């Protein structure tokens, strides 16, 4: 029986992971649950899955948990996160903490040689160079539960890396793929995603295609390929989750239902598949599988992601940090939609390449960039 740690258990990925475990209790045991502030949801999870270790941010909530559960190790605050991410009593961890907060815990687990399934883009966008180096040094296995990267991982299972010609990373195109991008775009317009229901930050990133830019950076690190080997392909039906083109001309595609439980289950039981009750895709009802090329002049954020890769690791940190600040400013209606890529490009061009040799270096630089970006408006 595999022992599972879930970092971000009360979020959508965490809940989907628990759904997979709920259907496969003979295969998995939850030993660690890490939440944010949602104590009500965490208590329900503790009662059902009975972990040994739990984390919640605030001390007062931790005291409540300690009074309710005498035989559980309860952690809280920055020190608690450091301690719980250093535990080694699990076989695989789901890393689904939101934002740059997921970097240090993921680094700690990888440094301890553990298997980690990533559901946090910032870990590789901001820390890819360090994370991959540390994983290699400590023989840690890095998997992914992102639907596109899981699709690529599945296509590559059993294949040699040197047979890859091109990774074809699919994108939904967002709400503006066939509409003009202007200063008149409102928050409500940008949040109206045609395919997926996601949180506001990710939805805005999807509309600018920055989300896909982040995924290009992730793919570069995860699959050890050059940026020119990663091509973004818009597929608005979101049935083909991604593809790999091999050097012999063969294209292998991952096609399936739109459910995060599938890539999560694949990571938890890698490399073997699990049965589920998700409605299967009926190919006879698929009218077409149309693919389109994104316009990099229109979607500046996607272009800037490729630019950040060329500029180096520190500029990937800049890309991520500046985007976070600018998207939040747009959501708060402090800036225009078109100010998001303009601000990111200004920040990228404001810095020379910088050496970032530790998690502390990355976090300090991330903080610096966020503070400088806030001065733009």
CATH assignment of 179-208+298-377? 1.10.1740.10
Q: For position 98, what pLDDT does the model report?
A: 86
Would the pTM count as exceeding 0.95?
no
Q: What is the pLDDT of residue 309?
A: 96
Q: Which CATH architecture has domain 2-144?
A: 3-Layer(aba) Sandwich (3.40)
Cis (ω within 30 of 0) for the bond into 271? yes
Domain boundaries, the chain: 2-144, 146-173+219-294, 179-208+298-377
Tell me the C-alpha distance between 377 and 375, whole Å: 5
What's the pLDDT at 198? 73
Residue count of the chain: 377
pLDDT for 287 equals 72
Q: What is the DSSP string of 239-278?
A: -EEEEEEETTS-EEEEE--S-THHHHHHHHTTTS-----S
Quickly list DSSP for 195-241.
S----HHHHHHHHHTHHHHHHHHHHHHHHT--GGGEEEEE-TT--EE
Residues of the chain with pLDDT under 70: 196
Quote the pLDDT of residue 33.
98
Q: What is the pLDDT of residue 99?
A: 87
């Amino acid at each position: 029986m595999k022992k599972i740690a879930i970092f971000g258990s009360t979020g959508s990925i965490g809940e989907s992971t628990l759904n997979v475990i709920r259907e496969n209790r003979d295969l998995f045991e939850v030993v660690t649950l890490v939440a944010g502030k949602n104590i009500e949801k965490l208590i329900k999870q503790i009662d059902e899955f009975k972990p040994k270790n739990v984390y919640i941010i605030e001390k007062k909530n931790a005291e409540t948990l300690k009074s309710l559960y005498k035989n559980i190790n309860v952690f809280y605050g920055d020190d608690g996160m450091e301690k719980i991410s250093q535990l080694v009593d699990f076989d695989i961890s789901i890393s689904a903490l939101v934002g740059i907060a997921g970097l240090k815990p993921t680094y700690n687990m990888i440094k301890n040689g553990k298997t980690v399934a990533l559901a946090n883009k910032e870990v590789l966008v901001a820390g890819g160079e360090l994370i991959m180096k540390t994983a290699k040094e400590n023989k840690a296995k890095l998997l992914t539960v992102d639907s596109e990267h899981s699709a690529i991982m599945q296509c590559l299972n059993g294949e040699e890396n040197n047979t890859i010609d091109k990774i074809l990373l699919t994108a939904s195109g967002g709400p503006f793929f066939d509409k003009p991008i202007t200063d008149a775009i409102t928050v409500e317009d940008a949040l109206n995603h045609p395919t997926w229901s996601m949180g506001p930050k990710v939805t805005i990133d999807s509309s600018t295609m920055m989300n896909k830019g982040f995924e290009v950076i992730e793919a570069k690190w995860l699959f050890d390929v050059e940026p020119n080997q990663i091509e973004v392909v818009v597929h608005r039906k979101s049935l083909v989750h991604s593809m790999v083109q091999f050097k012999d001309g063969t294209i292998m595609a991952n096609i399936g239902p739109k459910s995060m439980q599938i890539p999560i289950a694949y990571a938890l039981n890698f490399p073997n598949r699990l049965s589920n009750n998700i409605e299967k895709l009926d190919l006879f009802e698929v009218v077409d599988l149309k693919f389109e090329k994104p316009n990099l002049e229109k979607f500046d954020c996607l272009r800037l992601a490729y630019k950040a890769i060329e500029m180096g690791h520190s500029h990937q940190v800049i890309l991520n940090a500046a985007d976070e600040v600018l998207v939040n400013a747009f959501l708060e209606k402090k800036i225009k939609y078109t100010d998001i890529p303009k601000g990111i490009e200004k920040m990228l061009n404001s810095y020379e390449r910088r050496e970032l040799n530790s998690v502390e270096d990355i976090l300090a630089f991330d903080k610096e960039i966020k503070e400088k970006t806030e001065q733009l408006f």
